């Protein structure tokens, strides 16, 4: 038997962007615990904007479990928040996702590393060289001295946890980075994204560095941060076809406002039609077009309109649960009959 440190993680009730919270529970197990072995736990919802003080208990239901290589016998436990009666709390966006084991999502998370409110590598006053060499760049003048160490350590901790990173890269603005997570199952990649965000924020405590998740932290000729959301269903991958694709895009157009509502706050600052975006009030799709709302990969068309699509509108502060939920809802409105 060993004592395990279970870090229960959940999303709080702050709007428009939930914070991820965590607290530790010690339990004894023979070996690394399975999801089924993890107890339901509770917390004080009045401190997280999830309850009133006079009736403050909320429940934490474990939904995914990951090893935490930074802690001896460490376990990261992603949870849903439930009301005392066991039903989903109104802030529980994960519970709104239609369950579909054959839905696949790939999220590309962009973010800024910041120190004293300025992107890492920015001078104390004024601006560094304009954008150009930072994207996928190398060298002190492009990436500074500690950003790469943070990004590499983050990647290793995530890989140790079994999080399915597909890659990382330095982004277009100085101090801006990206990682991509892919998962099969409607909530899989979203669970992993929230845990990866948590790991990154926790790691950065050591460096006196914060993460700026906002989609447009710098005004002017500086890229904003997105969370491009790539998605496919079994039908899209195996049947597809031009006619189905066009019906699907029609449904996305019709639900434009509902999508934008969950694609992260302040997105009008980022979706301007510049910097590889479409403006927020237009819905367009285009083959290999990074200036459209939805990019249709070349391979999708070549395969006979089969495969995955990239919704480029979700931003870096978007909740991947709410995004996956909305995308699957719109897809479900489209008949797969020909």
Q: How far is the CB of 314 from ligand ADP (least distance, A)?
A: 12
CB-based closest residue to ligand ADP: 106
In the bound complex, what is the minimum distance in angstroms from residue 62's beta carbon to ligand ADP? 26
Residue 231's binding partner among ligand ADP, Mn ion, none (Cβ under 5 to 8 angstroms by kind) is ligand ADP
Selected binder of Mn ion within 228, 270, 313, 326 (CB under 5 A): 228
| Partner in contact with 315, chosen from Mn ion, ligand ADP, none, beta carbon below 5 to 8 Å by kind | none
Residue 267 CB, nearest distance to ligand ADP (Å)?
Answer: 18
108 lines the binding site for Mn ion (CB under 5 A): yes
Residue 230 interacting partner from Mn ion, ligand ADP, none (CB closer than 5 to 8 Å by kind): ligand ADP
If one asks whether residue 178 binds Mn ion (CB under 5 A), the answer comes out as yes
Q: Is the backbone of residue 314 left (phi > 0), alpha (psi -120 to 50) or beta?
A: beta
- Count the alpha carbons within 13 Å of 334 in the hemisphere toward its beta carbon: 24
Using DSSP bridges, classify how beta strands 41-44 and 210-212 pair: parallel, antiparallel or unpaired: unpaired
For the bound state, the minimum distance from the C-beta of residue 115 to ligand ADP, rounded and expressed in Å, comes to 26
> Could you give the CA distance from residue 287 to residue 245 in angstroms, rounded to a whole number?
12
Element spanning 143, H or E: helix 140-143
Distance CA 311, CA 295 (A): 7
The one of Mn ion, ligand ADP, none whose footprint includes residue 293, by CB under 5 to 8 A per kind, is none
| Pick from 179, 158, 201, 177: nearest CA to 70 | 158
Residues 6+ apart with CB under 8 A from 178: 108, 109, 110, 111, 168, 169, 170, 171
List of residues contacting ligand ADP (CB under 6 A): 104-106, 108, 166, 180, 182, 228, 230-232, 237, 307-308, 310
Residue 104 binds which entry of ligand ADP, Mn ion, none, CB below 5-8 Å type-dependent: ligand ADP
Phi, psi dihedral angles at 159 (to 5 degrees): -65, -40
Note the residues at the interface with Mn ion (CB under 5 A). Answer: 108, 178, 228
């Amino acid at each position: 038997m060993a004592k395990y440190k279970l870090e229960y993680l959940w999303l709080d009730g702050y709007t428009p962007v939930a914070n991820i919270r965590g607290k530790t529970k010690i339990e004894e197990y023979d070996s690394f615990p399975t999801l089924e072995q993890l107890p339901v736990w509770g917390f004080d919802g009045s401190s997280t904007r999830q309850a009133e003080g006079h009736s403050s208990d909320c429940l934490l239901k474990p939904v995914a479990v990951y090893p935490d290589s930074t802690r001896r016998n460490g376990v990261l436990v992603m949870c849903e928040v439930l009301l005392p009666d066991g039903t989903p709390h109104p802030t529980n966006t994960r519970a709104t996702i239609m369950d579909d084991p054959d839905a696949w999502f790939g999220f590309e998370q962009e973010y800024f590393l910041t120190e004293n409110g300025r992107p890492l590598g920015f001078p104390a006053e004024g601006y560094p060289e304009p954008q150009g060499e930072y994207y996928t760049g190398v060298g002190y003048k492009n990436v500074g001295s500690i950003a790469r160490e943070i990004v590499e350590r983050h990647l290793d901790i995530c890989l140790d946890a079994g999080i399915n990173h597909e890659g990382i890269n330095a982004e277009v603005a100085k101090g801006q980075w990206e990682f991509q997570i892919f998962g099969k199952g409607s909530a899989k990649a979203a669970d992993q994204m929230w845990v990866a965000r948590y790991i990154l924020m926790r790691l950065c405590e050591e460096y006196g560095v914060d993460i700026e998740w906002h989609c447009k932290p710098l005004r002017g000729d500086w890229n904003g941060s997105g969370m491009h959301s790539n998605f496919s269903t079994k039908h899209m991958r195996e049947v597809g076809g031009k006619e189905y694709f066009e019906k699907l895009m029609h449904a996305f157009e019709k639900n434009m406002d509902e999508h934008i509502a969950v694609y992260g706050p302040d997105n009008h600052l980022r979706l301007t039609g510049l910097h590889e975006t479409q403006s927020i009030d237009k819905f367009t799709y285009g083959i290999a077009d990074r200036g459209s709302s939805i990019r249709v990969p070349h391979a999708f068309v070549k395969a006979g309109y089969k495969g995955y699509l990239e919704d480029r509108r979700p931003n870096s502060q978007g909740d991947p649960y709410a995004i996956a939920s909305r995308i699957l809802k719109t897809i479900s409105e489209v008949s797969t009959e020909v």
